[in-house]
Amino acid sequence: MWTESEIDAYIRKHLKEGRYLHTLRVVKASGELASLHGLDVRKARLAAFLHDCQKFRRESDLREYLSSHPEGRRDSNRPAEVLHGFAAAVFSETEAGISDPEVLDAIRWHTTGAAGMCDLAKVVFLADMIEEDRDFKGIEALRKLSGKDLDSAMLFGLDLSLSYLIRSGKYIDPDTLHARNHFLVLVRDRMEK
């Protein structure tokens, strides 16, 4: 399995500087969130290091890369914006030697979210949205919520993502809708108890 420094060397070589620096901020935010929620900090950092590692590929390359791997084939027709997460999960497993299913899930679902995603995946999804350089309406509320309650933060974060996707006329991956409804029911049920 690749060490953090091997992954660092790979992404520094392949990603543009801005994307590389974003990755380092997501690593930091993931480690902090994992620690706040009593999760494995090392696993959170590892997933964050790899989450955007295939972002340098063009859309056609990503589709080809996914189609050429049995474990990625079913995801090769997803919307352009989310392909890099699925490609990164395949790369992490086949090239970087990551076998931990939680780390792979966190990488795979970092853009779409998914119903039933594990807590580590919630941490990386949220860290990607709230890393210190991000700035959008609602970010301070999302940062606060992320530190307190991962499921409520996921619901709020997915609502923000969906509004953005609709406003900008982008295709919505079905898993993002499933994830949003999943967290809506989860948070509502909890409030009613």
Residues in 45-104 at the binding interface with Fe ion, rule: CB under 5 A: 52
| Cα 43 from Cα 34, distance rounded (Å) | 9
CB of 110 to Fe ion, least distance (A): 6
Widest CA span of the chain, in angstroms?
Answer: 51
Segment lying near Fe ion (by CB under 5 A), choices 72-80, 94-102, 121-129, 155-163: 121-129
CB of 161 to Fe ion, least distance (A): 12
Q: Which is nearer to Fe ion, 52 or 93 (CB)?
A: 52
Residue 128 binding Fe ion, by CB under 5 A: yes
| Cα 113 from Cα 73, distance rounded (Å) | 19
CB of 142 to Fe ion, least distance (A): 15
| Cα 131 from Cα 29, distance rounded (Å) | 6
Write the CB contacts of 113 (distance below 8 Å, at least 6 apart in sequence): 125, 154, 157, 158, 161, 175, 176, 179, 180
The alpha carbon torsion through 58, 30, 146, 155 (nearest 10 deg) reads: 30
CB of 64 to Fe ion, least distance (A): 19
Residue 175 binding Fe ion, by CB under 5 A: no
Residue 131 binding Fe ion, by CB under 5 A: no
Q: Which is nearer to Fe ion, 39 or 124 (CB)?
A: 124
Write the CB contacts of 99 (distance below 8 Å, at least 6 apart in sequence): 1, 93
CB of 183 to Fe ion, least distance (A): 20
Which positions touch Fe ion (CB under 5 A)? 52, 128
